[in-house]
Amino acid sequence: MIARLSRHANAGDALQDAYGSDTDDIGERRIPGEELVDYWYSIDGLLPRADRGPDTARDWCHMLDLPVRQHQLEHGVLENPSPLWHCSLRLHPEDRPLTAGERWEVNRRMLRAAGISPPGDDHASRWLALAPRPGRLEILASLVREDGKPARLHHQHFRAVMRECRRLEEDLGLRRMPRPPGTAQPAKRLTPWVHTVPVHPQR
């Protein structure tokens, strides 16, 4: 499992990166249910009702960018010019496809490893996980928390994400990739999430 981390000025740029630079008018793109892996637990009331049809990328971008806009209105200055975090995960070509429950677990463990969404933190950042192509998982998250504070990323969070990739390879029986320098396996392990798929209410 290979991870690529990047930061963007807004969710639209991150989503464009996730779907590919050749995607036209990403804002009007419909995101079907089979591409939606999981999302921040409190957003159902912020998205269109079910009778308005599937959610567009523009709806999701608005949800992810809202804490940044609120921070700018209240403080006028945004300390981080690239407040949208993007983790792009790619499986080895010879790996088996992940189940829906495994994709959900990978997303949660990556967010936890990076410090984006610690368990039990009701004011953590908003995030969205998508699987737009086979063997890929795209995780987008705001770096402004719900309480308006900067997200508390794990110290050396790139290495933390790489270490979690190695753990996931072992736990899910995926092809082991070479360890990048400085990412040796630590003694302490994160407790794996249960392999279940959350049921989202119909919109």
pLDDT of 19 over the 50 cut: yes
The mean pLDDT of 103-108, rounded to a whole number, is: 94
Work out how many domains the chain is built from and give that number: 1
- 198 domain-assigned: no
The mean pLDDT of 165-175, rounded to a whole number, is: 95
- 121 domain-assigned: yes
Averaged pLDDT score across all residues of the chain: 80
Residue 198: predicted pLDDT: 37
pLDDT of 97 over the 70 cut: yes
Task: Label residue 29 by pLDDT band (50, 70, 90).
Answer: confident
Residue 38: name the closest of 128, 114, 119 by CA: 128
- 151 domain-assigned: yes
- 86 domain-assigned: yes
- 203 domain-assigned: no
pLDDT of 91 over the 50 cut: yes
Residue 20: predicted pLDDT: 81
Residue 191: predicted pLDDT: 39
- 122 domain-assigned: yes
Q: Which residue has the higher pLDDT, 150 or 177?
A: 150
Give the domain extent around 132: 2-172
pLDDT of 50 over the 60 cut: no
- 182 domain-assigned: no
Least confident of 54-58, 100-104, 182-186: 182-186
Task: Label residue 136 by pLDDT band (50, 70, 90).
Answer: very high
Least confident of 3-7, 29-33, 177-181: 177-181
> With helix as H, strand as E and coil as C, how does the chain read?
CEEEEEEECCHHHHHHHHHCCCCCCHHHCECCCCCEEEECCCCHHHCCCHHHCCCEHHHHHHHHHHHHHHHHHHHCCCCCCCCEEEEEEECCCCCCCCCHHHHHHHHHHHHHHHCCCCCCCCCCCCEEEECCCCCEEEEEEECECCCCCECCCCCCHHHHHHHHHHHHHHHHCCCCCCCCCCCCCCCCCCCCCCCCCCCCCCC
- 199 domain-assigned: no
Residue 177: predicted pLDDT: 77
pLDDT of 95 over the 90 cut: yes
pLDDT of 173 over the 60 cut: yes
